[in-house]
Chains A and B, each alone.
Chain A
Amino acid sequence: MEENIKKDNIRKEENIVYKKTKLMTDKVLSYCPGCGHGTIHRIIMEVVDEMGIQSETLGIAPVGCAVLAYEFMDIDMQEAAHGRAPAMATAMKRLMPEKYVFSYQGDGDLAAIGTAETIHACNRGENITMIFVNNGIYGMTGGQMAPTTLPGMKSSTSPYGRDIVTMGNPLKITELIAQLPGTYFVTRQAVHTPANVRKTKKAIRKAFENQKLKKGLSFVEVVSNCNSGWKMAPVQSNEWMVENMFPFYPLGDIKIEGELVK
C-alpha cells in the first residue's frame, strides 16, 4: 500500500489531468493566495500558446500588483509608467502592425491616472487588446480607494466607506469606452469559477483574434477579487464579489463586432 502513494507512482502520464501552462515561467507568482491575477495571467498565456503566437506577441505590464507580470509570462514585455500602457501599445502596434499587442492594467492604472490614454486609444480604435482587471481597490499600495471602489465600500483612504458626495461615484469605464466608435469588442468577465474562467479565456482569445481583423480595439474587463485589500478570506471575497461587485459591474458582452449589446 505504502509503495503506491509515492510521488513517482502518481506522476504518470495517464494520471495527468492538468499541466503547468507552457508560457508561464517557473518564477513563483508574487500575488496573494486567492487573488485572481495568476489565473488571468495563465489564461492569457494559454491563448498565446494555443494560437501559436509567442514570437509575435508583445505585452505591457502596468504599475500595480501586476507590475511584475513580465516575470511570469514567457514573452517579450515592456513595463509601463503608471497609466501609460495604452499609449505604449498604440506605438508598438503602429510601428509593428504584424505583432499582437496587449496591455494589462488594473483599475487605478486604467481608470484613474491613465484615463486619458485609455479613452484616446479606444477612440482611435487602435488595433490592440486591452485587459482590464477591476478589483475596486489599489492592491499593491495597500488597499486605497480606486476609481471603481463601490459606494460605501471601505478602503484605507475611505475608512468610513466611499462617500459619493465627497469622493465621487465609481467609474464604469468599460461602459464608457463601449460608447466610442473605435472599440470593436467590449466585454466584462470574471475568473472566480471554472465556468467563468472558460468564458474569460474565450473572450481573451476573441480579443486576440480580433487583431487580425483590424477593425478596432478589443477590451476585456475581468472583475476580480482582492482578498487582502478587502480584508477577507479568499472564498469570502469571491462571495462578496458576486453579491456586491457583479450587481454594479454586470458580467457579459457589452459590445460585439462594433455593435452595443442591448
Chain B
Amino acid sequence: MKELRLMKGNEAISEAAIRAGCDGYFGYPITPQSEILEYLMLEKPEERTGMIVLQAESELASINMVYAGAACGKRVMTSSSSPGISLMQEGISYMAGAELPGLVVNVVRGGPGLGTIQPSQSDYFQATKGGGHGDYHIITLAPSSVQEMADFVKLAFDLAFKYRNPALILSDGAIGQMMEKVEFDEHRPRFTDEEIRKNTPWATTGKTPDRERNIITSLDLDPARQEIHNIKLQAKYRKIEQDEVRFEKIACDDAEYVFVAYGTSARICQKAIQLAREKGIKVGLFRPITLYPFPKKEINELSKKVKGMLSVEMSAGQMVEDVLLAAERNIKIEHFGKMGGIIPSPAEVVEALEQKIIGG
C-alpha cells in the first residue's frame, strides 16, 4: 500500500532508503543535509529492516565505509553537502575504478570553499565530469521535488547495481529543506545473503570452495591491463549514455524558446513559463533528470525547433557548456544564474530570457 506523508526532501531520502532495502548508511553531519542522518537515527531502521546506520568520523571514513559495504554486495549509501562531497572524491574515484555500486547524495550548497549553507547548483561539473582523479563518470540524478528525492533513491540503487558504478543524487539545499507531500512505495526487502551471492558473484562475501577468491581493487600496475580496464569502463559509460538518459519536457510543443534547467531552477522555470506566456512569449522547459548521462540527443533535436535556449542554473554557468555542445549552434544559447546561495526569481528568469535570448 502506498503511504502519503508530508516531509522535507532530506527526510524523504532517509525514509525512501529504508524502504528501498538499503543495508547501510554511513554519514557525517553537514548543513543543509543533516536531517538525513538525524531522521535515520530517530527512525531506528535496524529494528524495521535490519539496515545499519553509523555516524562516521569524517566524510573520508563515510565514503570508504560505502566502498567496503558495496564491495560486500550490500546496498549502501552516504550523503553530504558540497564541502563534504569534495572530501569524498577520493573514495568515489576508487569506487569507479573498482566498479562498485553505491549511492551518494549531495545536497548542494554554495561554494567555493566553506561558501555558504544556502542552496546552489555549483557542483555540476564535479558531479558530471568525474569529480575525482582518473577517467570516470558516475550516474547523476537531479530531483526537482521531494517526491523525486524519494523515488530516485531506489532508482539510483538499481542503476548502480545494474552497471556496477556509483550513483549520485545531485540535489540542493532548497529541495532538501522544503516540505512537500510525498508518496512512498511499500518496503522492498533487503537482499538476503543468498541473493547477494547470486546477484553479485564478484562481491567479497567470503571465499567458498566453489569459487576463486574475490578481490576488490582499483589497482593494476601493468599499464597494458590498466588500459584494457579503462577501455572496459569507457564502454560501460557509452552504454549508460545510450540507455539511461532521463528528462522531462514541459510546454515544449509550441515553444519558440526553451529554458534548460534541473532541480530547484527547473521549479523556478515552471513559474517563469507562466509569466512569460502571459506576456505572449512561447517558452517551454527542458529538464534533464539524468545530468550524467546528459540528454545530448534530445537537446539537439529540440534545438532544431526553437529560436533560443536559456540554461538557468544557480551557478556561474556549468550545464550551459553541455547544452552548447549538444545543441545546433545557429541558435542563441546563453546562461542565466545566481551564485553564492541566491535563488533567482521567476521574473528575473523571464527578464533574462527577454534580454539575453529574444532581444540579444
CB contact between A92 and one of B72, B207, B208 (< 8 Å): that residue? B72
Min distance, Cβ A110 to any Cβ of chain B, angstroms: 14
Bin chain A's interface residue count: 20 to 34
Q: DSSP class of A's interface residues: helix, strand, loop or mixed?
A: helix
Most buried by B among A90, A91, A116: A91
**8 Å CB contacts to B: which residues of A68-97?**
68, 70, 74-81, 84, 87-92, 94-96
What's the least CB distance linking A194 to chain B, in Å?
29
Q: Kindly state whether residue A120 has any CB partner on chain B within 8 Å.
A: yes
Residues of chain B with a CB closer than 8 A to A57's CB: 206
CA distance A9 to B61 in the complex (A): 56
How far is the CB of A92 from the nearest CB of chain B, in Å? 5
Across the interface, do A91 and B219 meet the contact criterion of CB distance under 8 Å? Answer: no
**Binary contact track B86-117/A, C-beta < 8 Å → 1, others 0:** 00001100100010000000000000000000
Which B residues are in CB contact (< 8 Å) with A74?
207, 213
B336 within 8 A of A: no
B64 at the interface (CB under 8 A from A): yes
Chain A residues positioned under 8 Å from B61 (CB to CB): 84, 87, 90, 116-117, 120
Q: Which residues of A contact B56 (CB under 8 A)?
A: 87, 90, 120
Counting residue pairs across A and B whose Cβ atoms lie within 8 Å, the total is 116
A89 to B54, CA, bound (A): 13
Q: Is B74 an interface residue (CB 8 A)?
A: yes
Check B91–A84 contact: CB distance below 8 A: yes
Residues of A close to B54: CB separation below 8 A: 90-91, 94
Tell me how far the C-beta of A58 lies from the nearest C-beta in chain B, rounded to whole angstroms: 5
Q: Which residue of A lies closest to B90 (CB)?
A: A81
Interchain CB contact (< 8 A) of A95 among B64, B74, B217: B74
Check A41 for interface membership: any CB of B closer than 8 A: no
Q: Which residues of B contact A (CB under 8 A)?
A: 23-24, 26, 52, 54, 56-58, 60-62, 64-69, 71-72, 74, 76, 90-91, 94, 98, 204-209, 213-219
**Ordered nearest first, which 4 A-B pairs have the shortest CB separation?**
A88-B68, A79-B217, A91-B65, A84-B64
